[in-house]
Amino acid sequence: MASAMELTSEIVAQEELVKALRARKVSKEEIDSATQKLSLLKTSYKAATGEDYKADCSPENPAPGDERGLDATEAGEDFVDPWMVQTSSAKGVDYDKLIVRFGSSKIDQELINRIERAIGQKPHRFLRRGIFFSHRDMNQVLDAYENKKPFYLYTGRGPSSEAMHLGHLIPFIFTKWLQDVFNVPLVIQMTDDEKYLWKDLTLDQAYGYAVENAKDIIACGFDIKKTFIFSDLEYMGSSSDFYRNVVKIQKHVTFNQVKGIFGFTDSDSIGKISFPAIQAAPSFSNSFPQIFRDRADIQCLIPCAIDQDPYFRMTRDVAPRIGYPKPALLHSTFFPALQGAQTKMSASDPNSSIFLTDSAKQIKNKVNKHAFSGGRDTVEEHRQFGGNCDVDVSFMYLTFFLEDDDRLEQIRKDYTSGALLTGDLKKILIEVLQPLVAEHQARRQEVTDEVVKEFMSPRKLFYDFQ
């Protein structure tokens, strides 16, 4: 039995590796070698068990390479991992399929209603509109909250450039709301070590970006008494408890598993291969003794984009083996690039998104020139047939940032019917984004280096539970 389980784990990992290699279009020789190894593992499985291998697709431990896995990439369907998002649809990623593939649970109306009852107020627009659409164990978190048992929040940022864009704000806007309504402590990990390993940066540059990005995060309004922001490069060297958890995680994940989950190849540095354990460690409360003392039993809730889920599937698999509770997760959809949901936002392309440093004039020009339209070719056709909100980037952006549900619905109806033209829709978006970005810039101006240092100092936080 142990042999069969080990082989299953290796097959799952190898299937995910093959899929990742195909998505990244590496050499045919490298793909063939990985495919041949997969075939040999399945042959060994049949020899050990007397049966053909079949992917285990249970919700808690989904096979990353199920029967859709290898075929999906070949067919040009969605591919999602922590570094790459590919879709052939102008509507963006099919999130219902992604839920099935990743084995998470859909955030349905019943769960939204339960959150509303627990907090005694209207849920955030990101929940109401399906922007946060998937979860793992959110009901457990609500059980804890209703029974006055503790939990804490953890999210993060990979600081790859000095300037952040609107898409980077999404998890922080939502996390700030969660912190407010549940009144719980929060840790924010700045993975400057990751960006040093993956990007052409010096260590000093990576840390410098972490500090600058922290200013934008603080400007979202987090409570300094309940928030600890930390740089991996700085914190891991000073916290033996954090590093001990990293080592525990590393011991329980094999090289083959991490290659399968993340698509690493033999040419990747050992730093990349060991990094996932560092992103996993904040999921466990005793990584922060200054906050939770020696308690290892406090559950963590992680709001993040769905592309980060592979890290935490690994974490949830390891947690019970090292005696810790599994982290719960809330997954968000992806924020589209201005050019459409099929393209990727890039810090090297200033026209791919609205940056938090953009002026009112730059915002207006970017939206008017680059925001992908769901409108018709002519005004006459648009008036007759209407626009397509499913692919129109201006409307997508309004679903993220326009608070008024009734107004958003009226805009959708007017654009779909043809009563509202593309230029009118873009004008509405510009009027929403200009003050939003200007207000963020004003708050950021007030974030001094001393304020950042205080947020990033390991210390006791203030919260209600003991």
* Per-residue tens of pLDDT for the chain, all 466 residues: 445 666 776 787 788 788 777 777 777 877 888 888 888 888 877 777 777 887 643 333 433 333 333 334 344 567 776 666 667 676 778 888 888 888 999 999 999 999 999 999 999 999 999 999 999 999 999 999 999 999 999 999 999 998 899 999 999 999 999 999 999 999 999 999 999 999 999 999 999 999 999 999 999 999 999 999 999 999 999 999 999 999 999 999 999 999 889 989 889 999 999 999 999 999 999 999 999 998 999 999 999 999 999 999 999 999 999 999 999 999 999 999 998 876 656 666 778 899 999 999 999 999 999 999 999 999 999 999 999 999 999 999 999 999 999 999 999 999 999 999 999 999 999 999 999 999 999 999 999 999 999 999 999 998 765 5
Amino acid residing at 385: F
pLDDT (0 to 100) of residue 18 = 81
pLDDT (0 to 100) of residue 344 = 59
pLDDT (0 to 100) of residue 106 = 95
CB within 8 Å of 207: residues ≥ 6 apart = 192, 231, 233, 234
Q: How far is 113 from 106, CA to CA, in rounded Å? A: 14
Q: How far is 234 from 421, CA to CA, in rounded Å? A: 51
pLDDT (0 to 100) of residue 14 = 80
Q: How far is 51 from 21, CA to CA, in rounded Å? A: 28
| pTM greater than 0.85 | no
Q: How far is 66 from 63, CA to CA, in rounded Å? A: 5
Amino acid residing at 278: I
Q: How far is 250 from 270, CA to CA, in rounded Å? A: 12
Exposure class string for 68-82: b at 16+ Cβ within 10 A, else e: bbbebbeeebbbbbb
Amino acid residing at 178: L
pLDDT (0 to 100) of residue 62 = 39
The position carrying tokens 């909100």 is: 389
Beta bridge mates, 329? 136, 302
Structure tokens at 384: 């007759």
CB within 8 Å of 68: residues ≥ 6 apart = 77, 97, 101
**Residue 86: phi, psi to the nearest 5?**
-125, 135
pLDDT (0 to 100) of residue 440 = 98
CA-based end-to-end distance of the chain? 44
Q: How far is 186 from 151, CA to CA, in rounded Å? A: 10
